[in-house]
Structure 1
């Protein structure tokens, strides 16, 4: 198995080099910037990659953006993110592409060498490996679409959940049918419901409210 590593911490990089080589894994190339990582992947076409989130020059999210770039160019390329940080936006995008071959581990929580090597092999084989803390943070930060509704839209959705039709909602809230229709349209849009028949979308909207 051949690996390309993107890591700017020299001591950690050398440690990974020794660890992988002693486990019979070939380190094809290493990089300390996102651009260098992308170039190394193109040149060596590894079996799996290990990427830190924060790389030079800004030390923000260059590693994850580079990982997304190589996954776009090489869709089946496995990526194991190894970092101290959970970067919500790009991590969710990387995990949500549905292709598998993705891992996200936190450096401070990797306590056993054999577990890390096993995780790398699983990612290389197309599996998904997630640190429980990463999962927890992504779930906590996940935006609740119902929370985007205005107070009036939430009132309308509550009445929809009670089984009231548009006319009944208008009477209850002392507004026009047209106003209710507009509020429901806004609810569908904010909940990102597919453009299908309104009856089906009403059910989906109510389910989103009840599952909140």
Structure 2
């Protein structure tokens, strides 16, 4: 979860903050800023609920954050089972143990169709304006500072919105990061490829299992 921030100069501003990207980085940012009383616009080209190939497992620190925000009960209430064992099968042996930290000894792994919808709804309930199905075409820059965004909704209607701060939480190929030439840091080379599929009707033993092999 990464974000990029641009700060605008003086002038007419529709919002205090515009957050581009409304999944598990952007929606909580918008939620917390709105709760502090800021005028927040949260936009995403997706509509919710919708899937994305990304993080599933919420470790104890993430659960602690959800609890602070008053959202943990919503996530647990969806019926996703608690996971109290992590097991890493390396072939010759298995490393197994329990997740622990910040008062939690379990984890949860909700589908992103579930988690992201909860976060987006909570941001709206906190006072943020949420625009789903909105594509950012351009990051507006004036005199070297970011001043807002230009984009269109799914019906093609174009709007220009201005803010003192624009936050880019729009993923790996971030429009905000490209427009601001944001510096990359803490990068690591790609070493794995993951494939996702989902199954129903299988027994659930409260265990996260990873099977690592040479191939």
Point out which structure has higher relative CO (alpha carbons under 8 A, 6+ apart): 2
TM-score of the aligned structures, taking structure 1 as reference length: 0.22
Higher strand share: 2
TM-score, normalising length: structure 2? 0.21
- Higher Rg of the two aligned structures: 1
